[in-house]
Amino acid sequence: MISFRNVSLIYPNSLRTVLDGLSIEVNEGEMVLVIGHTGSGKSSLIKLVNGLVPHHTGGILSGEIEVAGRSTRSLKPGQLSDVVGIVGQSPAHGFVADIVEDEIAFGLEAHGVAPEVMRKRVEEVLDLLSLTELRDRSISSLSGGEQQRVAIGAALVLNPKVLLLDEPTSALDPIAAEEVLAIVYRLVHDLGLTVIIAEHRLERVIQFADRVLLINEDGSAEIGDTATMLASSPIAPPLVNLAKVLGQEKISLSVRELRRNTEELRNVLTNLQPKIAPANIGSAIFTLDNVSATYDEKSVLTNVSLAIHSGEVVALMGRNGAGKSTLLKCAVGLTPITRGEVQVCGRDPRELKGKDLISRVGYIPQEPDDLLYNQSVADECRQADLDNNVAAGTTLNIFKSLMTLPSLSIHPRDLSEGQRLGLALSIVLAAQPQLLILDEPTRGLDYEAKRELIRIVRSLARDDGSQQRHCGIFIASHDVELVAEIADRVIFLADGEILSQGSTRDVLTSSPAFAPQVTKALSPQPWLTVGEVEAALEGRNV
């Protein structure tokens, strides 16, 4: 179905080859998972399949790529749209209509499909992705996860032979992600759809993939069956790392498989306890008191009261559309509050401007592009140093600590999703805010970058023994693995109301849908992370 023959790709002014001599064959009805570090070229590989690279992006391409017998070198993306459907990292950037149903129908209209056929296909896709209730909604009013489902629906409505998915679950809660991946899996097996999927949250998708394609930082690539590739890959989800810690000879790709293979080891763990480091919590720096809010004339928050303290990491979780992003925006005065009171460091954020605001609260939205407006990465870092009145190079050094740097001359809009997030985070952290607000901070980040983010957030939140207490961190995230690693407390939001809250261990281990992989694999024991298990086993062996 898809053929790469000795394909190499390099972009103008790039310091590295994106792909170097790649030769692979992807069969009809196969699901191939593309993995690699942030910025390694996963998105570029996907865009090569439908001709976006190099026809729209530029770049020097050698070798041959064929899809269903058609050459992507001689045909542009529009000429392949009946064969290849694609959903990019940021669906909002690709929408052409304002209403959900119109967006899904657009591709059919462009291809001149008969009205009666169009109606049938649109209804099928709306039902398939549980979008029927959203059909008349404005796309701009949808949550990030809802927009992701609309984008997938717009790609599927043309009945393509090949579906390309770039970070398809990055904005989805665990339940919605399982639903979308189950649908894609069914399309692969029932209809013979060929899927190439790039994903950083491997824990969600490895059980569905037939093969894994690993892109190395030098542009070389390796492909093989999922278990073999992940056994030796530097990039692996918690379940695979847990299997290694427990000494499994064969790597397990699902919780069910791991539980079957580790019954005796799980009995050993029942006599051990996780080592819990107590958080050093200070005074409240962000409070909501009976806050209600609306968005687009719809009630989004109802009588919400909470407090975030210095030295504390609090995670906000819940289904897509629960009101998490709206709640976070309360901290920077962006939410139209209908009743209640908001305080950040003793002040109403709606009364704060400029440096008075950013010195108190740093906020990174789901779309970090909103914080980037200069012409190069170097310019962004220099401007952030000036705006935050810090030593030259401060922002760049934070960026270096997060991930391998791209060319400093590249335009921020040309960075990968994860690189843009890393740059935006560096800019905000340079101001040393007392409260740090992060909306889906691991979207687009590989496991290595995520570990560095965890290290930085921990260092910001923990008291180092000096007179000045570290800042409070408030994170909205669907990434249960991040929450398990980093949060002291979890707040669950449902339909704009707080459903439950408590310690991370109590909340996550009692939630089947939002429990991390380690918790599911070692249930009923209250383990959260691979690190906890490893530390406990090492202590026992000593």
Summarize pLDDT for 40-95 with one digit per residue, the tens. Answer: 889 899 999 999 888 888 888 999 999 988 898 888 888 888 899 999 877 878 89
Please check whether residue 413 lies inside any domain of the structure.
yes
pLDDT attached to residue 479: 93
Taken in order 506, 507, 510, 514, is the CA torsion positive or negative? negative
Q: Which of 175-179, 423-427, 514-518 has the lowest mean pLDDT?
A: 175-179
Q: How far is CA 130 from the centre of its chain?
A: 21
CB within 8 Å of 139: residues ≥ 6 apart: 92, 95, 97, 98, 99, 100, 103, 147, 150
Q: Would you state the structure tokens that stand for residue 174, as one six-digit string?
A: 């665990």
With bands split at pLDDT 50, 70 and 90, how would you rate the model's confidence at 119? very high
Give the Cα separation of 510 and 512 in Å (integer).
6
Q: In what order do the strands lie in the sheet with 31-35?
A: 84-87, 162-166, 194-198, 31-35, 211-215, 221-225
Q: Which of 458, 455, 443 is CA-nearest to residue 366?
A: 443
Give the Cα separation of 183 and 537 in Å (integer).
39
Query: Are residues 354 and 440 both part of a single domain?
Result: yes
- Name the more confident of 3 and 275: 3
Cα separation values, 468 from 345, 405, 447, 454, Å: 14, 31, 31, 21
Please check whether residue 457 lies inside any domain of the structure.
yes
Cα separation values, 529 from 236, 254, 280, 442, 480, Å: 14, 16, 21, 17, 11
Query: Are residues 20 and 51 both part of a single domain?
Result: yes
Angle subtended by helix axes 100-110 and 115-128, to nearest 10 = 140
CB within 8 Å of 271: residues ≥ 6 apart: none
- The C-alpha angle with vertex 412 and arms to 408 and 415, in degrees rounded to 5, equals 90
- pLDDT above 70 for 467: no
Angle subtended by helix axes 238-245 and 530-541, to nearest 10 = 10
Give the Cα separation of 189 and 432 in Å (integer).
51
Q: Which of 15-24, 375-384, 487-496 has the lowest mean pLDDT?
A: 15-24
- pLDDT above 90 for 505: yes
Please check whether residue 366 lies inside any domain of the structure.
no
CA dihedral angle for residue 34, residue 38, residue 40, residue 42, rounded to 10 degrees: 30
Q: Would you state the structure tokens that stand for residue 444, as one six-digit string?
A: 């687009």
Task: Note down the domain range covering 264.
Answer: 237-271+512-542
Tokens 């694609």 found at: 86
- Cα atoms found within 13 Å of the Cα of residue 147, Cβ hemisphere only: 22
pLDDT attached to residue 238: 92
Give the Cα separation of 342 and 359 in Å (integer).
17
Give the Cα separation of 520 and 492 in Å (integer).
19
Query: Are residues 110 and 175 both part of a single domain?
Result: yes
The count of structural domains within the chain is: 4
Q: In what order do the strands lie in the sheet with 472-476?
A: 361-364, 435-439, 472-476, 313-317, 489-494, 497-503
CB within 8 Å of 188: residues ≥ 6 apart: 29, 30, 31, 194, 195, 208
Give counts: helices (H), strands (E), the chain: 22, 19
The pTM of the full predicted model, rounded to 2 decimals, is 0.84
Q: Would you state the structure tokens that stand for residue 396, as one six-digit string?
A: 């760049």
- pLDDT above 80 for 417: no
Give the Cα separation of 198 and 161 in Å (integer).
18
Give phi and psi for 359, each to the nearest 5. Answer: -75, -20
Query: Are residues 379 and 528 both part of a single domain?
Result: no
pLDDT attached to residue 465: 45
Q: Which of 440, 463, 444, 355 is CA-nearest to residue 402?
A: 444
Please check whether residue 83 lies inside any domain of the structure.
yes
Q: Which of 475, 467, 471, 454 is CA-nearest to residue 531?
A: 454
Residue 172 in contact with residue 145, Cβ under 8 Å?
yes
Please check whether residue 49 lies inside any domain of the structure.
yes
Query: Are residues 427 and 440 both part of a single domain?
Result: no
Please check whether residue 368 lies inside any domain of the structure.
no
Tokens 């030593």 found at: 391
Last residue of a domain, one of 401, 432, 463: 432
Q: pLDDT per residue over 289-324, tens digit each?
A: 999 998 767 788 999 999 999 989 999 999 888 899
- pLDDT above 50 for 418: yes
Q: pLDDT per residue over 507-532, tens digit each?
A: 999 988 899 999 999 988 889 999 99
As a whole-number percent, the residues of the chain with pLDDT over 90 amount to: 46
Residue 418 in contact with residue 39, Cβ under 8 Å?
yes
Residue 365 in contact with residue 439, Cβ under 8 Å?
yes
Query: Are residues 451 and 486 both part of a single domain?
Result: yes
Give the Cα separation of 294 and 277 in Å (integer).
39
With bands split at pLDDT 50, 70 and 90, how would you rate the model's confidence at 180? confident
As a whole-number percent, the residues of the chain with pLDDT over 70 amount to: 96
Last residue of a domain, one of 432, 454, 469: 432
Query: Are residues 114 and 41 both part of a single domain?
Result: yes
| Residue 380 CB coordination number (10 Å) | 24
Query: Are residues 355 and 402 both part of a single domain?
Result: no
Please check whether residue 341 lies inside any domain of the structure.
yes
Cα separation values, 506 from 245, 268, 304, 475, Å: 24, 22, 21, 18
Query: Are residues 311 and 442 both part of a single domain?
Result: yes
Which CATH number covers residue 324?
3.40.50.300
Mean pLDDT, the chain, integer: 88
pLDDT attached to residue 279: 67
With bands split at pLDDT 50, 70 and 90, how would you rate the model's confidence at 353? confident
With bands split at pLDDT 50, 70 and 90, how would you rate the model's confidence at 284? very high
pLDDT attached to residue 144: 66
Tell me which H or E stretch contains 420. Answer: helix 417-429
- pLDDT above 70 for 458: yes
Query: Are residues 129 and 173 both part of a single domain?
Result: yes
Give the Cα separation of 523 and 159 in Å (integer).
41
Tell me which H or E stretch contains 312. Answer: none
Last residue of a domain, one of 382, 407, 432: 432
Angle subtended by helix axes 394-402 and 377-388, to nearest 10 = 130
- pLDDT above 60 for 268: yes
- pLDDT above 50 for 174: yes
Query: Are residues 229 and 241 both part of a single domain?
Result: no
Tell me which H or E stretch contains 505. Answer: helix 504-509
Please check whether residue 365 lies inside any domain of the structure.
no
Query: Are residues 146 and 229 both part of a single domain?
Result: yes
